Structure 1
């Protein structure tokens, strides 16, 4: 009995002297930090081919985008795809040769798609794209704000739909552009090989914002904040200028879903960021 009691005392003494277990934060995790907030990275799409021109149809929370098809990668042949962000259901959009551009009129629930042979309208119920206008025109980019705009290729000229026709926009007749965006207060942002510019339509003044970046997309979030996706990261445009929020290379597209979650694409993936209350022990912004 005495031996048993001594053994129990020894075990109790060892337990008292043993250090308490310490739970450490994760040293590596699938999150990134923007400002003071952490976000989980959820992969929405992962295939070969760079995803471009991300746009979200808010009423169905469906992401539209184009990607370069692997077999003709060097020729920049594109295919359009839509993914429901709630269910994960994916559809490849048939019937648009070289489909590479998307614009969405949320008010009238119209979805415009562009390819190497004109502009189409997409029907969410039938999953079909019907020809709309500009037969034979190569559509580089589409944008909708009260009117439908498109940039033609290879001349990179901006057109606007007026009275069922698409004349050149007079203020930009002599300007090439690759990306175009109109804000709610009618400031026009556009980009080309020489940089990112702002046009004040009231005062008819052009302003160079940055000549060192390559713009991949210009988008607004659900709060009307303006973002620029570039070859060296993501910027938010403020009154003071450009503020980088993601210091990362090789991004190709940017969008915001119905809940204002940021979605980006890199060379092979589309990723949605979801707010996380947890962080990582050591981290980089990417």
Structure 2
């Protein structure tokens, strides 16, 4: 049985758009941020995930070559040096999960799960050969979402099994909190699985969720089709009220890393602001 949670958005003056030509900054919760494009001309970068010890951002992006037999490709950029390249060895690479404690990087594609070798920069076959992987996630265990049935699996003792609590749900996005509560989303909305009550609660049935992440301080952010919301207290509030954001991550310094239609951007705190009539995206 679903219990309704009402989502409360902040007032319009909490967030402004990215500045016009005269100003290249963004206001988030009363703090100004400089906007820096760190990578351009990649089609809709999705599933941003940062290996914190190296500050390397991994992501997937859309391919527009009609002759290609796959739709997605994995790539990386070193946020310190700006070196970037594609990740070889993954067919239809579309998702990444990182075990930060053990420096293990997993990729998912149309032919299973892979492990990334940081030295050779190649991805090697790992598990679920022949399975089409929609999304990967790591918190204590490795999870994956299968495609096209959108079912959730967990690796237990070296073998993937369906997560029993989600057998009756399709899952597109998934995030486990430290207390084992689980946020997830599908085409019908955004939900919370309360691990203590074993109940699913509806958060919002109007937004489309693109990514669910925590920053380095454990604050939960959700990238949606209408902007970015943050969990604050018992509610979610708007922090970036802009359409066209496809991915979100936080780098080693806890700076916002965002992606739009063609670019990956970094937002860093600024001591300078802008006039409210000088905004653009």
Settle same-fold status: TM greater than 0.5: yes
Superposition deviation, residue 185 in structure 1 = 1.4
Listed as ranges, the gaps of 5+ residues in structure 2 are 1-19
Flag the structure with higher helix content: 1
Q: 1:218 maps to which residue? A: 212
- Partners of 1:37 and 1:235 in 2: how far apart? 16
Q: Does 1:109 find its partner at 2:106?
A: no
Q: 2:7 maps to which residue? A: none
1:63 corresponds to which of 48, 57, 65: 57
Q: 2:71 maps to which residue? A: 77
Contact 2:23 2:279 in 1 (8 A): no
C-alpha distance after superposition, 1:42-75 (max 9, x if no partner)? 1111114110000000000000000001214998
With structure 1 as the length reference, what TM-score do the two structures score? 0.88
- Partners of 1:222 and 1:105 in 2: how far apart? 14
Q: Give the match's secondary structure for 1:71.
A: coil
1:30 corresponds to which of 18, 24, 40: 24
- Partners of 2:84 and 2:58 in 1: how far apart? 10
Contact 1:32 1:285 in 2 (8 A): no
For 1:16-165, what aligned pairs fall within 5 Å after superposition?
28-72=22-66, 77-165=71-159
Contact 1:34 1:285 in 2 (8 A): no
Superposition deviation, residue 174 in structure 1 = 1.2
With structure 2 as the length reference, what TM-score do the two structures score? 0.89
Q: Give the match's secondary structure for 1:274.
A: strand
Q: 1:177 maps to which residue? A: 171
Superposition deviation, residue 250 in structure 1 = 1.2
Listed as ranges, the gaps of 5+ residues in structure 1 are 1-25
Q: Give the match's secondary structure for 2:160.
A: coil
Contact 2:36 2:267 in 1 (8 A): yes
Q: Give the match's secondary structure for 2:134.
A: strand
Q: 2:200 maps to which residue? A: 206
Count of residues paired in the alignment: 261
Q: Does 1:244 find its partner at 2:235?
A: no
Contact 2:21 2:280 in 1 (8 A): no
Superposition deviation, residue 186 in structure 1 = 1.1
Contact 1:54 1:253 in 2 (8 A): yes
Structure 1's 169 and 224: CA in aligned 2 closer, same or farther, altered over 3 A? same
Over aligned residue pairs, what C-alpha RMSD do you find?
A: 1.7
- Partners of 2:66 and 2:110 in 1: how far apart? 15
Query: Higher mean Cα deviation, 30-39 or 132-141?
Result: 30-39
- Partners of 2:123 and 2:174 in 1: how far apart? 24
Contact 2:105 2:116 in 1 (8 A): yes
Q: Give the match's secondary structure for 1:70.
A: coil
- Partners of 2:247 and 2:118 in 1: how far apart? 22
C-alpha distance after superposition, 1:56-98 (max 9, x if no partner)? 0000000000000121499870000011000001121011010
Q: Give the match's secondary structure for 2:159.
A: coil
